[in-house]
Amino acid sequence: MNTITITKKDEIVMRLVHYFITEENYVPIIVNGVKDEVWLENSEAKYKIVRINSNYIHNNEQLRTDLFKIKNVMRQIKKKTVSFTMNTFNIFLDVNDEVKPLEDKHIKTVILKDGSEKETTKIIPFFPSIENKLIKDTKGIDLILNVTEGINAKTEKNNRIYEATFKPKKIIITYAIMTICTIMFLLTYALGNGSMNALTLYKFGAVSAPAIQEGEIWRLLTGTLLHAGLIHLFVNMYSLCIIGSQLENFIGKKKFLFVYIISAISGSLMSSIFSTTISVGASGAIFGLLGSMLYFGYHYRLFLGNILKAQIIPLILMNLFLGFMMSGIDNAAHLGGLIGGYLATMAVGIIGKSEKNDKLNGAIVLIIYLIFLIFVLFR
């Protein structure tokens, strides 16, 4: 019969891994070419990377080589997760007494010489809850069982959130908005002189700064349901179908509807401030959906980092550039919608990612932003 031998280093590694995963919401990441090391990632934390190294560091030269390796891995993760800054909390468990930690502004190194409670107190200034949340009393097989049970429970919870977020759902709001826009387009021909006629668009509720200032507030929304010409309608509805269906699937119907309405209003307000002519179209609201997708993608950048870099950000920049270069495009509405959608998503939050303070801050900034636009328009 085989017996399981657990060293002090093994025990402290298990205790630390259990703590960082279950209490600090870190997840394990695979780093190729490493041995006797554990790498954990939490893109929302101050220290986005926690690295636990059980290898023996016998001199300063080996330490410098080790730090070079850490920085190389940090660059890779930073690039993958579209992070501007990245700090690593580096834990050594086996270091020669003569070796002293090297100073680095992005790497905080702590040396734990053994698995005693006294040594783990060195982590308290950086992760205060470890004092009460670290498993301390159990050892051997009981420790393995406790650690495994805790990590499995946390992993199962994260998997449920991930599945609820990304599993395919029935899309309703996006298609409903597309249907309303199409009906409004047809009505401009059935009850007016067509979608290219300025007077008809005005009567149907086009965005008009003077009319809004006179009290016709509904134009902030109705104008986003109108389109000038078949090409204008087709381009916006195609964009709404692609972007809207994905975002509605990710954040849910109620949050999506809120984000869309706020984006539409924000885009119309910004358009009214910078334009004296009437404007129509859902593009401001669609830019708001892009802003929302930007916020969502950033918080799930470990999974969506490549999409964020290769699709979402280039699409936003390209469309803004075309708006500035070409006439007839309401770039003010695009910018207003983009900002409104981003802030609206901050306010409603993302399941499993947003804390109460994040949502409160998002709501406060969104309200201030909308009040500022209204003040400027009606001053």
Query: DSSP string covering 305-335, please?
Result: HHHIIIIIHHHHHHHHHHHHHSTT--HHHHH
Given a cut of 90, whether residue 253 has pLDDT beyond it is yes
Residue 117's pLDDT is 64
C-alpha to C-alpha distance for 38 and 35, rounded to whole angstroms:
9
pLDDT above 90 coverage of the chain, percent: 54
Average pLDDT of span 283-287: 94
360: tokens are 């409160």
Domain 173-378 has CATH 3.30.9.100: no
Band of residue 1 on the pLDDT scale cut at 50, 70, 90: very low
Which of 183-197, 279-293, 311-325 bottoms out in mean pLDDT, i.e. has the lowest?
311-325
Residue 330's pLDDT is 84
Contact (Cβ atoms closer than 8 angstroms) between residue 249 and residue 354: no
For every residue of 160-211, DSSP letters joined together read: HHHHHHHS-----HHHHHHHHHHHHHHHHHHSSS-TT-HHHHHHTT-B-HHH
Q: Which residues contact 310 (CB under 8 A, 6 or more apart)?
A: none
C-alpha to C-alpha distance for 116 and 119, rounded to whole angstroms:
5
Burial of 179 (0-12, 13-18, 19+ CB in 10 A): exposed
Q: For residue 359, give Cα distances in angstroms to 95, 142, 279.
A: 43, 40, 32
Catalytic one among 239, 268, 283, 354? 283
Band of residue 176 on the pLDDT scale cut at 50, 70, 90: very high
Confirm whether 266 is a catalytic residue.
Answer: no
Given a cut of 70, whether residue 272 has pLDDT beyond it is yes
Residue from 225, 248, 112 nearest 170 by CA = 248
Residue 47 zone, left/alpha/beta (φ > 0; ψ -120 to 50; rest): beta
Band of residue 5 on the pLDDT scale cut at 50, 70, 90: low
Q: What angle do CA 186, 239, 276 make, to 5 degrees?
A: 65
Q: List, in sequence order, every residue forming a beta bridge with 92; answer none if it has no partner.
A: 53, 111
Band of residue 195 on the pLDDT scale cut at 50, 70, 90: very high
Given a cut of 60, whether residue 56 has pLDDT beyond it is yes
Given a cut of 50, whether residue 211 has pLDDT beyond it is yes
The highest-confidence range among 39-48, 197-206, 317-326, by mean pLDDT, is: 197-206
Alpha-carbon dihedral of residues 156, 157, 158, 159, nearest 10 degrees?
A: 50
DSSP-H helix ranges across the chain:
8-22, 60-80, 117-120, 130-133, 140-166, 173-190, 198-203, 209-213, 219-222, 230-239, 245-251, 253-274, 283-299, 301-307, 313-325, 331-348, 356-378
First to last CA, the chain: 84
Residue from 262, 316, 288, 282 nearest 207 by CA = 282
Q: If DSSP codes are grouped into helix, strand and coil, which group holds residue 37? A: strand
9: tokens are 């280093």
Residue from 355, 375, 378, 281 nearest 25 by CA = 355
pLDDT in tens, 352-374: 888 889 999 999 999 999 999 99
Domain boundaries along the sequence of the chain: 8-166, 173-378
Q: Tell me the whole-structure pTM to 2 decimals.
A: 0.82
Average pLDDT of span 110-124: 79
Confirm whether 227 is a catalytic residue.
Answer: no
Residue 178's pLDDT is 97
The per-residue pLDDT of the chain, averaged, comes to 88
Contact (Cβ atoms closer than 8 angstroms) between residue 350 and residue 251: yes
Catalytic one among 18, 227, 232, 334? 334
C-alpha to C-alpha distance for 293 and 345, rounded to whole angstroms:
9
pLDDT in tens, 100-109: 877 788 999 9
